[in-house]
Structure 1
Amino acid sequence: MGEFRPVPDALLYLAGSWLLERSVRDLASTDEGTFTGTTTFSSLQSGGRVGLLHHESGTFVWQGVARPAERTLRFLPGTAPGTVDVRFADGRPFHDLDLTSGRWVTGHPCAADLYRGEFTVLDADHWRTVWRVTGPAKDLVLITDCTRDQPGGQPRAV
Structure 2
Amino acid sequence: MTAPYGLHRVPDVRAYLAGEWRVARSVRDLADGSAGHFTGTTVFTPLPDEIGLLHHESGTFVWRGVARPAERTLRFLPGDGPGTARVEFADGRPFHDLDLRTGRHTADHPCVRDLYRGAFEVADEDHWRTRWRVGGPAKDLLLVTDYARVPSRRGADSSARRDRSG
Q: Give the shorter-chain TM-score range.
A: over 0.9
2:40 is matched with 37
1:106 pairs with 2:107: yes
8 Å contact from structure 2 (residues 5, 128) kept in 1: no
**Cα distance, 1:2 vs structure 2:** 5.9
* Higher-strand-fraction structure: 1
Q: CA deviation at 1:152?
A: 3.2
1:20 aligned partner, one-letter code: V
Is 1:20 matched with 2:23?
A: yes
| TM-score w.r.t. length of structure 2 | 0.89
Distance 2:82 2:123 in 1: 21
Structure with the bigger percentage of helix:
2
> Please, which runs of 5 or more residues in structure 2 have no aligned partner?
none
- Give distance in 2, aligned partners of 1:72 and 1:16: 15
TM-superposed CA distance for 1:45, in Å, is 3.5
Q: Match for residue 144 of structure 1?
A: 145
Preserved contact between residue 5 and residue 122 of structure 2 (Cα < 8 Å): no
Relative to the length of structure 1, the TM-score reads 0.93
Contact preservation (8 Å) 2:29, 2:35 = yes
Which runs of structure 2 are paired with 1:118-133 in the superposition (5 Å)?
A: 118-133=119-134
Unmatched tracts of structure 1, length 5 or more: none
User: What percentage of residue pairs aligned between the two structures are identical?
Assistant: 63
Q: How many corresponding residue pairs?
A: 156
